[in-house]
């Protein structure tokens, strides 16, 4: 890739992100924000004198670092102050995960299993929930082992959109769950998860990403002692990805064992001190 | 009201957009923007656009990277809503003549200068020059 292409790519990604986060803005405000960004990008490119990889990285880095502030701009339009303050970190995590995932998809990096989802989506649109597909290897179940939830959603809005939303939702919920459990100590876990989780797009394990988002929602429901909501979300986890459901089951089993052991040791302490 | 009596607490109380922040606080980024804007004015540049501000801030602070788009324009919008800055789009002809997109030009208002004077702690300086001066 030449330096000129790298700079053009960075500008295109920045524009793309701006077009996404300004969607919810009023028309005039959106036009002004986009025009101001356009001016900034032009000035930076002109001031640099010539295109270079450093310039491309600088433009992209400015967009990436500003993503949480952009996400907050959007959130401020809808959410009351009290909720917004509590959701500030999770929203920032979701914004970062979304921009990493979108960047990977737009950059056209090789995503291992992407073709599978495009094919599966086409099968779903043409044949609905076909149980068996004879045209894949020596025949296999179409959706049951992959996802019953992902392809209908992808059929409506597209594979990429569902993937990015699932990744962002999982980052948001991971942040909500760990901050609720461990408070401010978990901030860096939340942030690192957001960056790394965006990279799951490289494996194109999109149904798993959606399933993980549902599983984290289920854990959140459990934290809040909303059992019916938990059952519903656990069911959606199975529908989104059997593998994610397995992870959810293992996580819950781990929590249950941990609680059992800690209650056992506190019981021992109680007996020893009595 | 005398100009000196217009404190940040008063400004925050009368402007809903900044009402939720801690009374008397001007955020470090706002201090940096106001100080940079006033420095630009002293050097003869009365109105500035976003990238010029970002570049000047980087040079003044000795930072290696430019401020992020989202952070900069969010702060500028907030400060304009607070009445500390005012902005206008330049004439299309000027931009067309130079073959570039139109610039949105900002100016510091009297309220902005007063807010800086009333509520600002000195902006953190990360300049290597300062470090050299200490050693």
Give the per-residue pLDDT at B8.
40
Cβ distance of A65 and B68 shorter than 8 Å: yes
Cβ distance of B68 and A62 shorter than 8 Å: yes
Containing A132, the helix (H) or strand (E) segment is strand A132-133
- How high is the ipTM of this complex? 0.73
Kindly report the nearest CA distance between residue B69 and chain A, in angstroms. Answer: 5
State the Cα–Cα distance between residues A255 and B42, nearest whole angstrom.
Answer: 62
Which residue's entry shows tokens 């789009």? B89
Contact A177/A169 with Cβ under 8 angstroms?
no
Q: Which residues of chain A have pLDDT under 50?
A: none
Q: Is A38 on the interface with B (CB under 8 A)?
A: yes
Percent of chain B with pLDDT over 70: 70
Contact A169/A94 with Cβ under 8 angstroms?
yes
Query: Nearest chain B Cα to A39, which residue?
Result: B101
Tell me the helix, strand and coil percentages in chain A, rounded to 5.
80, 0, 15
Q: Flag whether pLDDT at B45 surpasses 70.
A: yes
B65-86 mean pLDDT: 93
Residues B4-36: pLDDT tens digits? Answer: 443 443 333 333 333 345 555 788 899 999 999
Containing A89, the helix (H) or strand (E) segment is helix A81-107
Nearest to A2 by CA among A47, A55, A51, A39: A51
B93-116 mean pLDDT: 93
For residue B69, list chain A residues with Cβ-Cβ distance below 8 A.
14, 18, 37, 40, 62-63, 66, 70
Give the per-residue pLDDT at A179.
92
Percent of chain B with pLDDT over 90: 56
Q: Flag whether pLDDT at B98 surpasses 50.
A: yes
Q: Is B104 on the interface with A (CB under 8 A)?
A: yes
For residue B51, list chain A residues with Cβ-Cβ distance below 8 A.
39-40, 43-44, 47
Nearest to B73 by CA among B54, B46, B97: B54
Q: Is B70 on the interface with A (CB under 8 A)?
A: yes
Q: Which of A42, A65, A81 is the closest to B101 by Cβ?
A: A42
Q: Flag whether pLDDT at B39 surpasses 50.
A: yes
pTM, full prediction: 0.56
Q: What are phi and psi of A137, to 5 degrees?
A: 50, -130
Q: Is A88 on the interface with B (CB under 8 A)?
A: no
Q: Which of A32, A42, A66 is the closest to B69 by Cβ?
A: A66
């Amino acid at each position: 890739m030449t330096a000129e292409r790298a700079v053009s790519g960075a500008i295109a990604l920045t524009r793309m992100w701006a077009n996404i986060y300004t969607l919810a803005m009023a028309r005039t405000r959106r036009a002004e924000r986009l025009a101001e960004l356009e001016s900034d990008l032009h000035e930076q490119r002109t001031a640099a004198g010539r295109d270079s990889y450093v310039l491309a990285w600088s433009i992209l880095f400015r967009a990436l670092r500003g993503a949480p502030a952009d996400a907050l701009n959007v959130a401020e339009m809808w959410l009351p102050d009290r909720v917004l303050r509590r959701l500030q970190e999770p929203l920032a995590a979701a914004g970062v995960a979304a921009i990493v995932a979108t960047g990977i998809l737009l950059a056209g990096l090789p995503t291992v299993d992407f073709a599978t989802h495009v094919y599966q989506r086409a099968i779903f649109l043409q044949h609905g929930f076909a149980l068996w597909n004879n045209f894949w290897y020596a025949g296999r179940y179409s959706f049951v082992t992959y996802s019953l939830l992902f392809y209908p959603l992808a059929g409506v809005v597209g594979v990429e959109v569902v993937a990015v939303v699932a990744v962002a939702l999982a980052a948001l919920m991971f942040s909500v769950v760990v901050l609720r459990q461990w408070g401010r100590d978990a901030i860096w876990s939340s942030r690192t998860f957001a960056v790394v989780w965006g990279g799951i797009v490289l494996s194109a394990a999109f149904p798993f990403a959606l399933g993980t988002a549902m599983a984290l929602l289920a854990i959140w429901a459990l934290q809040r002692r909303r059992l019916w909501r938990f059952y519903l979300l656990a069911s959606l986890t199975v529908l989104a990805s059997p593998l994610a459901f397995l992870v959810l089951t293992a996580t819950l089993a781990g929590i249950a064992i941990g609680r059992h052991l800690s209650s056992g040791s506190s019981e021992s302490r109680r007996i020893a001190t009595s | 009201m005398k100009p000196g009596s217009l404190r940040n607490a008063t400004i925050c109380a009368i402007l809903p957009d900044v009402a939720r922040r801690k009374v008397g606080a001007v955020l470090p980024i706002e201090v940096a923007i106001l100080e940079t804007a006033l420095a630009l004015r002293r050097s003869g540049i009365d109105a500035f656009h976003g990238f010029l501000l970002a570049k000047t801030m980087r040079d003044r602070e000795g930072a290696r990277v430019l401020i992020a788009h989202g952070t900069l324009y969010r702060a500028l919008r907030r400060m304009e809503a607070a009445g500390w800055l005012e902005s206008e789009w330049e004439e299309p002809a000027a931009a067309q003549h130079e073959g570039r997109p139109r610039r949105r030009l900002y100016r510091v208002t009297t309220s902005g200068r007063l807010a800086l004077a009333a509520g600002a702690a000195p902006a953190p300086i990360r300049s290597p020059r300062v470090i050299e001066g200490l050693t």
